[in-house]
Amino acid sequence: MEKGKMVIERKPAAWLTALILLAIFTCAGCAKVDEQAPYIAHEFMLDTDIIINIEDSRAPQISTAVFQRIAQIEKKMTLFSQDSEIAVLNAQAGQKAVEVSADTHYVLTKAIAMSKITRGAFDPTIGPLVKLWDVGSGLARVPGDAEIQKALALVDYRSLQINPDSDQLHTVFLPRLGQVVDLGGIAKGYSGDEAKRILLEHGVRQGIINLGGNVMAFGHKKDGNPWRVGIQNPLAPRGTYLGIVYVSDKAVVTSGGYERYFIKNGRRYHHIIDPTTGYPANNGLISVTVVADRGIEADALSTGVYVLGLTEGKQLIDSMDGVEAIFITNERKVYTTAGLKDCFQLTDGDFSYE
């Protein structure tokens, strides 16, 4: 994912900051001295710090079950191993269809649906460009225009062939040699949904799962109030918030160019690639937070809307039922969709509403 010879913002030790801030933002009940502190577990998975915050007498065992499920998903979808289902799909591009699990089939099907909704701004076949830029590996460089055009020609979500779910066999085919699927923009959201499902199966009715800023706030706080989720200030160190969103039973997912990037000749190049240009998206936004019922949708939408920019992105979110968003522009202007009017509080005076 991200590399950079010059400047890299990485996430190590972020778990500690996240842990502390999560405690501040999600545990207003802590003011009551007799209240049990919620159980907090963390693991590094999906290339990020994952934190589970629940209250249950069996919390350690339940958290282990959640981490095992996330590990399963990672094993199927990662690009960091040659044996994952996605790696095998990519290796067989232009040659033959491959069989994948129901998990991978579902995420790919959903990814294509989200590509259609975002008119290709979110595109899981973005892989050749992600590989070319290689933001996050320590070897990132600015590719030449010819290389970008060559990679760009392989990116097209409409070319990915997925057999319908009704068929017994889940097969998928990338028709052109060199095509690469990358689920980095959606897999964490799916993992958040699955984490919530497992917690509910174990009888846990409320909690927070934070997958590197991809937050699943499920149920509400024990005192009946909504969870308070801090929204990262994209211009300040990790863990500095510009506002708070109050939500119950929602996924809150942020995408931004500040998350992974490198700087070359004074220019910043980040990890979210615009499938129409082949370059890091540059449509006036520095971050987008999407609030939706399901993590998988919030995750794909936040990546896609970041690419679309404010005008098109806001139009899209406005047109969707049950989905809200917060947009932060290069000029530090903040826009929210109507449904967040009373649920978002801007706390940083450096930013202002338009």
Site for Mg ion, rule CB under 5 A:
185, 299, 302-303
Residue 129's contacts (CB-CB under 8 Å, 6 or more residues apart) are 148, 151, 152, 155, 273, 275, 278
Nearer Cβ to ligand AMP, position 124 or 143? Answer: 124
Q: How far is the CB of 125 from Mg ion (least distance, A)?
A: 15
Q: List the interface residues with ligand AMP, window 286-305 (CB under 6 A).
A: 299, 302-303
Q: Considering the rule CB under 6 A, would residue 1 count as an interface residue with ligand AMP?
A: yes
Binding to ligand AMP by CB under 6 A, coded x per residue (else -) over 184-223, reads: xx--------------------------------------
Nearer Cβ to ligand AMP, position 190 or 204? Answer: 190
103 binds, among Mg ion, ligand AMP, none (CB under 5 to 8 A by kind): none
Q: Which residue is nearest to Mg ion (CB)?
A: 303
Q: Considering the rule CB under 6 A, would residue 326 count as an interface residue with ligand AMP?
A: no
Q: Considering the rule CB under 6 A, would residue 122 count as an interface residue with ligand AMP?
A: yes
Nearer Cβ to Mg ion, position 206 or 302? Answer: 302
| Of 250, 271, 294, 314, the one binding ligand AMP by CB under 6 A | 271
- Residues in the interface with ligand AMP (CB under 6 A) total 19
CB-based burial, 54-81: b 16+ in 10 Å, e otherwise:
bbbeebeebbeebbebbeebbebbbbee
Q: Coil, strand or helix: which one is 218? A: strand
Q: Considering the rule CB under 6 A, would residue 11 count as an interface residue with ligand AMP?
A: no
CB 54 within 8 A of CB 38: yes
Rounded Cα distance between 311 and 295, Å, is 23
| Of 126, 180, 195, 242, the one binding ligand AMP by CB under 6 A | 126
- Contact window for ligand AMP (CB under 6 A) among 65-73, 199-207, 238-246, 272-280: 272-280
Nearer Cβ to ligand AMP, position 124 or 230? Answer: 124
Q: Considering the rule CB under 6 A, would residue 46 count as an interface residue with ligand AMP?
A: no
Q: How far is the CB of 120 from ligand AMP (least distance, A)?
A: 8
Nearer Cβ to ligand AMP, position 4 or 185? Answer: 185
Residue 48's contacts (CB-CB under 8 Å, 6 or more residues apart) are 11, 188, 211, 212, 213, 214
Q: Considering the rule CB under 6 A, would residue 275 count as an interface residue with ligand AMP?
A: yes
| Of 272, 286, 301, 334, the one binding ligand AMP by CB under 6 A | 272
What are the start-end ranges of the H helices in the chain?
Answer: 14-26, 59-77, 85-91, 102-117, 127-133, 145-152, 187-201, 295-308, 310-318
- Contact window for ligand AMP (CB under 6 A) among 102-110, 179-187, 261-269, 334-342: 179-187
Rounded Cα distance between 73 and 188, Å, is 9
Nearer Cβ to Mg ion, position 119 or 202? Answer: 119
Nearer Cβ to Mg ion, position 76 or 221? Answer: 76
Long-range (24+ apart) CB contacts under 8 A made by 275-278 are 275/120, 275/121, 275/123, 275/126, 275/129, 275/152, 275/155, 275/307, 276/120, 277/152, 278/129, 278/148, 278/149, 278/151, 278/152, 278/155
Residue 168's contacts (CB-CB under 8 Å, 6 or more residues apart) are none
Handedness of CA 214, 218, 222, 227 (dihedral sign): positive
Q: Sort 352 into a burial class: Cβ within 10 Å, 0-12 / 13-18 / 19+.
A: exposed
Q: Which residues bind ligand AMP (CB under 6 A)?
A: 1, 122-124, 126, 130, 182, 184-185, 255, 259, 271-273, 275, 299, 302-303, 307
